Amino acid sequence: MSEPVKVLVTGAAGQIAYSLLYSIAKGDVFGEKQPISLVLLDIEPMMAVLDGVVMELQDCALPLLADVIPTADESAAFKDIDVALLVGAQPRRQGMERKDLLKANVKIFKSQGAALDAHAKKTVKVVVVGNPANTNALVIAQFAPSIPKENFSCLTRLDQNRAQAQVASRLGISNENVQRTIIWGNHSSTQFPDLAHAVVHVNGKLMPAQEAIKDDDWVKNDFIKTVQTRGGAVIQARKLSSAMSAAKAICDHVRDWWFGTGERWVSMGIISKGDYGIKEGLMYSFPVQIGTDRVVKVVPGLTISNFAREKMDATQAELIEEKDCAFSFLEA
- DSSP for 245-298, please give it: HHHHHHHHHHHHHHH--TT--EEEEEE--SGGGPPTT-EEEEEEEE-TT--EEE
- DSSP for 107-172, please give it: HHHHHHHHHHHHHS-TT-EEEE-SSSHHHHHHHHHHT-TTS-GGGEEE--HHHHHHHHHHHHHHHT
Residues 6 or more apart in contact with residue 229 via CB below 8 angstroms = 189
Question: Could you tell me if 191 and 156 are in contact, meaning their C-beta atoms sit under 8 angstroms apart?
Answer: yes
Indicate which residue of 187, 197, 201, 253 is catalytic.
187
Binding residues: 42, 92, 98, 105, 129-131, 162
Binding residues for substrate: 92, 98, 131, 162
Question: Could you tell me if 163 and 193 are in contact, meaning their C-beta atoms sit under 8 angstroms apart?
Answer: yes
Q: List b or e across 240-268, with b for residues whose CB sees 16 or more CB atoms inside 10 angstroms.
A: ebbbebbbbbbbbbbbbbbebbeeebbbb
- C-alpha angle 280-293-296 in degrees, rounded to nearest 5: 25
Residue 183, beta-bridge partner list: 193
State the DSSP H helix or E strand holding residue 37, giving kind and residue range, or none if neither: strand 36-41
Q: Cis omega (within 30 of 0) on the bond before 91? A: no
- Region of 203 on the Ramachandran plot (φ > 0 left; ψ -120 to 50 alpha; else beta): left
User: In the annotation, is 187 catalytic?
Assistant: yes
Binding residues for NAD(+): 42, 105, 129-131
Q: Catalytic positions, please?
A: 187
